[in-house]
Structure 1
Amino acid sequence: MEKLQQFAIGQRWLSDTETELGLGVLIDVDERSISILFPKSDETRVYARHNAPLSRIVFNPEDEIQDQEGQRWLVSSTEDQRGVMRYHVRRSLQDGSIEEKTLNETRIAAHIQLSKPLERLLASQVDYKEWYDLRIEALQMQANIQNSPLRGLIGSRVGLIPHQLYIAHEVGQRFAPRVLLADEVGLGKTIEAGLIVHQQLKTGRAERVLILVPDSLQYQWMIEMRRRFNLHFSLFDLTRTASIREHDPELNPFLTEQCIIAGIDLLVDHDDLRDQAVAAGFDLLVVDEAHHLMWSEEQGGNDRYDVVEELAEHTAGVLLLTATPEQLGVESHFARLRLLDPQRFTSLDAFLDEEAQYQSTAAIAEVLMSDQALTEQHQQQLEQLLGHHINDDAEQRYRAIHELLDRHGTGRILFRNTREAIQGFPGRDCLAAPLPAPEGWSKDGKLREQMWPEESQLDGEWMQSDPRLPWLMEILRGSLKHKKVLLIARSGPVVEALENALRLHAGIRTAMFHESMSLLERDQAAAYFAEESYGAQILLCSEIGSEGRNFQFASDLILFDLPSNPDVLEQRIGRLDRIGQQNRIQIHVPYLIGTAQERMFRWYNEALNIFTNISPTAQILQENFVVELKENLLTDLGADFEAFLEKVSTQREALEIELQQGRDRLLEYNSCRPVVAQKIVAALEDYDDNNHLPMFMKRFMAATNIDFDEQSNGTVIIRPTDQMQVSGLAIDEEGMTATLYRDQALLREDAQYLTLEHPFTESIMEIINTQSFGSTNVALLKTNALKPGSMLVEVWFKVAVIAPKALNLNASLPQQLIRVLLSENGQDLSAKIDPEIIRPYLHHLDGNSCRQVVKARRDILEQRYKQALDLAQTGLPALQNQAKENYQKKWQYEIDRLNYLKQFNPSIRQSEIDRLLQLQKEGLQLFNDITVNPEAIRVLVVVKP
């Protein structure tokens, strides 16, 4: 595009100071003034002829233009007819033919979008200095994250817990991972799965994800995905799917969203929805509570197993989550592994033989991990397993452990961390509060009436006689007066009644959390409870409070009632008994003496031992004894009940011993290789300590008129404004509360955690990548080192290679940004003058002076830009070769490793190796089309300091 400076009626001009007016038409000219009509805004401006702030717009061959009817054309050639341009244009039609015509300048559309930096600069569209600096900084941050092994991890609101990050990094980096996550309760399987899903989505390894969970956990999963990972999953139930099909009977509901959470029973109960879910196709399938998937060689799988098996056959990546990988029996354990790799796990007998052989491997691995010296027998075993001799020193023992892990067992597809291995849990105590039942209390009524009588009296009448209420008031004003307390009851109405009584009659600061509240109200309640000095003393939750939220800063839990399911009870306790808890947890359990409440308490406490310890056998024991349990809960305490408790307790202890003896310490070590895990933690800590994003975000919002209000508690409130100078940001009209720091994000779940992977930040980066924000600037360079009045031209280019996101080709580029700095006479100063060196000496130049500089030096600017482009392109072959070499090495290392391990470990799938070979081939081919794209141009005018 060129700029001419003679005036003729019909010419198109752009206002340098009001570019929003669009492309204007010159309608009148005399010796002193010119008049421009701007059709887009239907306004006419009159300018002095000798210094009009206007840029003449003329298009060159191959430029794209738009006519007044909205059709887009490519310019083939141009001709000047007495100062007014005539364009010969063409366009391709759907049938493949070419339409050509002549288009007078006057017929060009008023809307114009100049995107290339040089075009904008020559049209005097000069951005603020701060915008230019922000653009370059944003491009550099994006280049750094694309090269980082932490990509996909930095954007998660999670603590830096080694075993979770190790599993996430190990599994999340794979293409189509198929693994079983089997950490014990409270170690964060949901977080591990979320980290993997987040990585898979952010790196493009997956785009469509289906999460199947029990109905009661759907909301918990949705909240976890949104709060921790900014992943917006849609909840699918029968109502939603029916609504979609009612609107369009031919539409597959599972094709309407990319990321879906559904109750597994929805697909079990409705074959048509099951078929549609399979037909929709997903990249990643996540199944929680996988121990409910039952299977035997004789009878096959139960309904849930069959649904997951069919989906797993048609889905590349599969994550199964269970806290009980083997306690339901080795056959059930084999069944879940069979879902992950049916080609390997074809026979239960073969699996049992392999496991038996693996025990000797695990035994020698334990010796390696201990301080025990290697005997001659140990050396012989290792040489037989590894194929070579090792010396008995720390480094060789460490290498031998990792070689055993890679070669043998199910370590590649099964991850299981235990509390004993992880450690760091302070423990928990049960503080029983037996209370006398009031007069007239039915001790032999229906089980529900004895256990939860308050639920049948929604008017709150139960509070008149229930001794748990005065006990609660007394303990909150007494021993728990200066502590944070979490109370959980089964239902919302009970919580509301209790909150009302505590707040109005006892003067206690309270907060509520139940299903009838909106998401925002729950966030506010949780934040009020978390407030250290003036926050709520007690947070009263319905059963939903035991799902999806963690309150490790509190250590006192009141179980106002007891649930009927031990898993639910463990969920309640798990809100406090988690990694990060600093104190022993005090579990307060009030119950009415002589009622089913007391018997249920004793069942949990004495038979299952669930209050003071994680009980891996609790759920299976209750399922095995459920009939006897119901009978005993309805009868008075007596010898039969005591015998029943003793019988179950004895069986529990035997099961726990069996589980302890069967602990696979080699598997536990593989689930969190300490050296690797600590490197990941250290890398994230270093990233957090040297994070430039907080300052960038503050500067960006200040520069674009986004309201950025820093609060005394360290959070910020971000709101859009009418004067906002950018559009397309991912922010609600009401704004948002946010934090830019991990520690605070973990304390305040009501505040969004802004990282480079947060949607709001990503929308800012999208503006940088797709719009012209900050792509031009003219500034003063105050220095004595250069001749006053001279000029420097700085051009930034991005090395571009168009490829599927999953290949991440940019990570193999030796550099993604190229900066060229030229003097006015064409001397290349790029290597001599670093941008950081001259930054302090750069100063703002007013808009009118910027335009004068551009107009006066137009020819030189065009020459220096072409020279800069030639220099950038000259270095492309070397960049291309280095990128190919990096990419080849990266994939070949992993391909060679897997091919080697496949000789020893059948869990290495040939399909996985074939996939890597295909990706390697695709990437190497795509590097042939590497280019450089101009990103920004700045003119530096040298003046004396």
Structure 2
Amino acid sequence: MQQFAIGQRWLSDTESELGLGVLIDVDERSVSILFPKSDETRVYARNNAPLSRIVFNVGDTILDQEGVEWTVEAVEERHDVLRYRAKRIDANGQDVVKDLNETRLGAHIQLSKPLERLLASQIDYKEWYDLRIQALLMQAQMKRSPLRGLLGARVGLIPHQLYIANEVGTRLAPRVLLADEVGLGKTIEAGLIIHQQLKTGRSERVLILVPDSLQYQWMIEMRRRFNLHFSLFDLTRTASIKEHDPELNPFLTEQLIIASIDLMLDHPDLHEQAIEAGFDLLVVDEAHHLMWNEEEGGNDRYNLVEDFANKTPGVLLLTATPEQLGVESHFARLRLLDQQRFNDLDQFLAEEEQYQQTAKIAEVLMSDLPLEAEQIQALEKLLGHAIEDEPEQRYRAIHELLDRHGTGRILFRNTREAIQGFPGRDCLPVALPRPEGWNISGKLREQMWPEEAQLDGAWMEHDPRVKWLMEILRKELKHKKVLLIARSGPVVEALENALRIHAGIRTAMFHEGMSLLERDQAAAYFAEEGYGAQILLCSEIGSEGRNFQFASDLILFDLPANPDVLEQRIGRLDRIGQQNRIQIHVPYVEGTAQERMFRWYNEALNIFSNISPAAQTLQENFIVELKDCLLADLPEKFEPLLEQVNEQRLQLEADLQQGRDRLLEYNSCRPQVAKRIIHALEEYEDNSLLPDFIKRFMASTNIDFDEQSNGTVIIRPTDHTQVQGLQLDEDGITATFYRDQAQIREDSQFLTLEHPFVESVMELINTQSFGSANVALLKSNAIKQGSILLELWFKVEVIAPKVLNVQASLPKQLIRVLLTENGQDLTEKVAAHILQPYIHHLDGNNSRQVIKARREIIEERYQQAFDLAKAKLPEISQEAQKQYQQRWQREIDRLNYLKQHNPSIRQDEIDRLEKLKQEGLAALDQVAITPEAIRVLVVVKAN
């Protein structure tokens, strides 16, 4: 029988929400408990009161009635009431010691340690316990996985993108130039690197600087593909922050920020505040606009980025035109990444010539052609050792050259020719007769886009493009998916209304006036086969951040003024994964600025048939002459202009092709390495336990989980949801566990261990007591009936900065101990998965009776299990230090060796690796364990 005394603290087994109660009266038959937290009194029968005595041990944290935290240093019992000797540190850093009777404890209580909860009869469902253990095992596997940061992105498994992400994303403070050709996914590569840096703790604060027109595209791309919620900082937002608190640096209010370069240039105070705020990683898109030469230095954009690059450890520069439009500016961009390495232009040019010779030798190595004697001699001189012309030695020689090659570690450039897999594109111009009264003499905007001046839609009555559009959709394109892009939202709305109402065509819209959810739904409707939309009509933002490779017909209802924007439009379809040749339909009105703009893009820049990396620069160089010819029909000027620009374009493209560096391209995607990454990702996803785990978690916590026939699931909270703190909107989410499905359906989120919702589930399990204490039945004839077994799980922990990633070196991150009630250790004999089929539910009342009857045995076995687990720590620590040392030293040795041949290896990078290695080894010397879960198994006879 339990010993009751006035002043003792008890917890209700059936109503733990009442808080910590104090015993105020006791007689032979009953006990009365006052629960101050809820101001209620309960009277219980003394013989079977559903109460658990609360006893704190040395080292536990307790709260007094004023809510002050104390740490227990000693416990003694006086007249059946406990007195705690407790200590805390005051505001001056001084130790304060106090004796606290248990009567002075606060009523609020949160038992988090598994043993405390078990002894207080706070017993969880069997399913919750099982889910906790599965979650801990999945997290342990993830912490050791080299795929961290790559799993969670909603991207295709494209070799060159994953190779670059893995190569750069794993570096500390990476400083590189991403220079893939248009359409190969530089934004995705940058996103993967950012995601990996954030997930592994290498970066925490990221600033993306882009032109005004690309801010929204970057924000959407980061959110949709990587679940990274960047804040867009414009003048309105920064002014609002300053208005609220003039002293606050606005750039300290968020960790992930996208801002316009023009905002910084126009407002030097914001530029200074952004630099003062400090970032771990800087990303700059359209870096070819950063111009520099030896005589005059840099332009304003270059100087601004240089300020940031000098103060930011990691820098990613993105450009599709690395060097063909000026060697000086190319050198200057490399100079932003490493001023010590790239400080002399003449020396850089001399090295480039030497690297061209190296590339020629590498070209032969990568071919099936035999090596000539002089090539072998030159190769041996480069490598510093003898080589024979056999496959294995050729392969090793290639990789040695790649490691040492000039800008190979700093510059990554993949080309369409090297990547392949692009079916090509065809331009289908449609010349339409000019209606009477068509404006051919007004301002250029009025001539090019007259529809934008009539917001009421009156323009549709006489615009020949509207009738043509209806006819081609009804006939030639009737059974095809069609993407239409126009400049503005009102034009798209007017066209969609006409097509849907007057032509009976299934349509979807996509413009800036719609919410993100509406846009995702529209894109998903367009992607649906069968009854989905035939045509998706987009405003200009439709060419930003969305890809529709499943369609191959593109209608350019109008033409943009900028060739880069035009390429972005075409690039929504002309991307990796496209199976058909792109059909680009270009309607224009004859004898107008529309026709002349089409001819400029088609005949001078050849932008419809092929990507021209020189297009943007050529247009900027001839913009004055072009505007004159667009404004008025001047064939005597326009025809020579088209011919002149076309000749310059062909020469620039020929120079680029001649200067292709195969060694650099190979270094930008080593096929064997990329193949291993993809295989590892596919194997991980094929064997993932996440779908089963999430389904079970939803069912056991009363969260609605509705599986759809199209491979997606809808997850919604309910009024009876049993857990709090999950990242789940009231409206829920539509999601899928399958990568292919996530890429097709824009409205579905891709659920992985790195998705915010799944991370919030794991965080709940890590920080709360979910499933940490359980009592269950074990049906077995091999163990004495009525006896108990104790199963405990301990987490191996190391306190260290996230950037050190010490957890990845731990050979064991979880320790399981299984003991009989007399202390026999069955851990190695009976694995958890073997035991699982024989474990069954035990109701709450019987569970509480077991705990009360076997309390002393449970406490003894718990201490034994703790000691057994702790005894394993020295061996775990030693093995972890060995693995950690080897992993870091391998990279340090490699960089030291390469530095002798490749000056692009920075000494500060090597020094930092050495410093972090020592910090990690010191942290792994202090390995500890924390209890994660405890289960009492009551043995009963098997059927």
Measure the CA separation in 1 of the matches of 2:691 and 2:493: 40
Unaligned stretches of 5+ residues in structure 1: none
The correspondence for 2:337, drawn from 340, 343, 346, is: 340
Distance 1:403 1:488 in 2: 48
1:295 alignment partner in structure 2: 292
* Counterpart amino acid of residue 314 in structure 2: G
Q: In structure 1, what is the Cα distance between the partners aligned to 2:555 and 2:819?
A: 71
C-alpha contact 1:551 1:575 (8 A) present in aligned 2: yes
Please say if residues 425 and 608 of structure 2, whose CA atoms lie closer than 8 Å, have aligned partners that are also in contact: yes
Please report how far the alpha carbon of residue 392 of structure 1 lies from its aligned counterpart in structure 2 after TM superposition. Answer: 1.3
- Spell out the pairing of 1:470-869 with structure 2 (5 A cutoff): 470-636=467-633, 638-869=635-866
Residues 110-149 of structure 1 aligned to structure 2 (within 5 Å): 110-149=107-146
Q: Secondary structure at the match of 2:754?
A: coil
User: CA deviation digits over 1:76-109, x for unaligned, max 9?
Assistant: 4444343333334332212233333333322211
1:97 and 1:313 map into 2 onto residues whose CA distance is 43
Does residue 416 of the first structure (1) align with residue 413 of the second (2)?
yes
Cα shift at 1:685: 0.6
- RMSD between aligned residues: 1.2
Deviations 1:631-680 (A, max 9, x none): 22223263542222122212211111111101111100000000000000
Shift of 1:734: 2.0
Residues 115 and 934 of structure 2 are in contact (CA less than 8 Å); yes or no, is this contact kept in structure 1?
yes
Decide which of 271, 283, 308 is 1:286's aligned counterpart: 283
Distance 1:104 1:345 in 2: 71
Q: State which of 327, 344, 357 in structure 1 corresponds to 2:324.
A: 327
1:356-395 alignment runs, 5 A limit = 356-395=353-392
User: Per-residue CA shift, 1:191-236, capped at 9, x if unaligned?
Assistant: 0000000000000000010000000000000001110001111101
Q: Is the 8 A contact 1:715 1:751 kept in 2?
A: yes
Q: Is the 8 A contact 2:325 2:614 kept in 1?
A: no
**C-alpha contact (below 8 Å) 2:470/2:499 kept by paired residues:** yes
For 1:451 and 1:562, how far apart are their aligned partners in 2?
8
Task: Give the whole-Å Cα distance in 1 for the aligned partners of 2:77 and 2:885.
Answer: 53
CA contact (8 A) 2:521 2:746 kept: no
Q: Which residue of 1 aligns with 2:63?
A: 66
Pairwise CA distance, 1:728: 1.2
Alpha-carbon contact 1:594-1:637 (below 8 Å) kept: no
Partner SS, residue 915 of structure 1? helix
Q: Deviations over 1:398-429 (max 9, x none)?
A: 11011001112110000000000000011111
Of 285-294 and 785-794, deviating more is 785-794
Q: Quote the Cα distance in structure 2 between the aligned partners of 1:63 and 1:900.
A: 52
Cα distance in 2 for partners of 1:641, 1:267 equals 38
2:7 corresponds, among 7, 10, 15, to: 10
Describe how 1:923-938 pairs up with structure 2 within 5 A. Answer: 923-938=920-935
Tell me, yes or no, if structure 1 residue 246 matches structure 2 residue 258. Answer: no
**AA in 2 matched with 1:761:** V
Change (3 A) 1:652 1:97: closer
The more displaced of 765-774 and 908-917 is 765-774
- Distance in structure 1 (CA, Å) of the matches to 2:656 and 2:7: 88
**Aligned twin of 1:235:** 232
Q: Specify the code of the residue in structure 2 equivalent to 1:265.
A: D
Supply the distance in 1 between the matched residues of 2:813 and 2:87 (Cα, whole angstroms). 35
The one-character-per-residue Cα deviations of 1:32-80 (angstroms, maximum 9, x if unpaired) are 2222222222222222211111101122343321112111223344443
Query: In structure 1, what is the Cα distance between the partners aligned to 2:324 and 2:449?
Result: 32
Distance (Å, rounded) in 1 between the aligned partners of 2:551 and 2:660: 32
CA distance in structure 2 between the aligned counterparts of 1:63 and 1:172, rounded to whole angstroms: 41
* SS state at 1:352 partner: helix
Q: Is the 8 A contact 1:489 1:542 kept in 2?
A: yes
More displaced, 644-653 or 632-641? 632-641
- 1:629 is displaced (CA, Å) by 1.1
8 Å contact from structure 1 (residues 79, 85) kept in 2: yes
Q: 203, 208, 211: which one pairs with 1:211?
A: 208
Structure-to-structure mapping, 1:907-926, within 5 angstroms: 907-926=904-923
What is the rounded CA distance, in whole Å, between the counterparts of 1:834 and 1:84 in structure 2?
A: 42
Counterparts of 1:77 and 1:902, CA distance in 2: 59
Following TM superposition, by how much is the alpha carbon of 1:465 offset from its aligned partner in structure 2, in angstroms?
A: 0.4
Q: CA deviation at 1:170?
A: 0.1
Per-residue CA shift, 1:694-733, capped at 9, x if unaligned?
1101111111111112222221111122221111111122
Counterpart of 1:37 (choices 34, 37, 43) is 34
**Conservation of the 8 A alpha-carbon contact between 1:801 and 1:931:** yes
**Which amino acid letter does the alignment assign opposite residue 822 of structure 2?**
N
Looking at structure 2, the residues matched to 100 and 168 of structure 1 have their Cα atoms a distance apart, in angstroms, of 54
Contact 1:599–1:637 (Cα < 8 Å) also in 2: no
- Give the gaps of 5 or more residues in structure 2: none
Instruction: Count how many residue pairs are aligned between Structure 1 and Structure 2.
Output: 942
Q: Please give the per-residue CA displacement for 1:518-551, whole angstroms capped at 9, x wherever unaligned.
A: 1121111111111212211111111111111111
Q: In 2, are the aligned partners of 1:127 and 1:777 still within 8 Å (CA)?
A: yes
**Do 1:5 and 1:56's aligned partners in 2 also have CA atoms closer than 8 Å?**
no
Q: Given the alignment, which residue of 935, 940, 943 partners 2:940?
A: 943
Q: State the shift of 1:454 in Å.
A: 0.4
SS at match of 2:930: strand
2: CA distance, partners of 1:886 / 1:625: 60
Q: 2:273 aligns with which of 273, 276, 285?
A: 276
TM-score by length of 2: 0.99
Q: Distance in 1 between matches of 2:903 and 2:76?
A: 72
Deviation at 1:446, TM superposition (A): 2.5
Amino acid at match of 2:657: Q
Question: 1:315-358: CA deviations, max 9, x gaps?
Answer: 00000000010121111111100100110110111100000111
Deviation at 1:456, TM superposition (A): 0.9
How far has the Cα of 1:895 moved from its partner?
0.5
Q: Secondary structure at the match of 1:587?
A: strand
- Measured in 1, the distance between the counterparts of 2:58 and 2:136 equals 31
Task: Return 587-596 or 778-787, whichever deviates more.
Answer: 778-787
Contact 1:368–1:397 (Cα < 8 Å) also in 2: yes
Residue of structure 1 aligned with 2:149, choices 135, 142, 152: 152
1:310 alignment partner AA: D
* Structure 1 position 759, deviation (Å): 1.1
Structure 1 residue 459 displacement after superposition: 1.1
> Which secondary structure does the structure 2 equivalent of 1:342 belong to?
coil
Q: Using the alignment, how far apart are the partners of 1:624 and 1:353 within structure 2?
A: 29
- Cα 1:580–1:906, aligned 2, differ >3 Å: closer, same or farther? same
Identity level (%): 77
Cα distance in 2, alignment partners of residues 231 and 662 from structure 1: 38
| Kept after mapping to 1: 8 A contact 2:324/2:655 | no
Moved over 6 A (4+): none
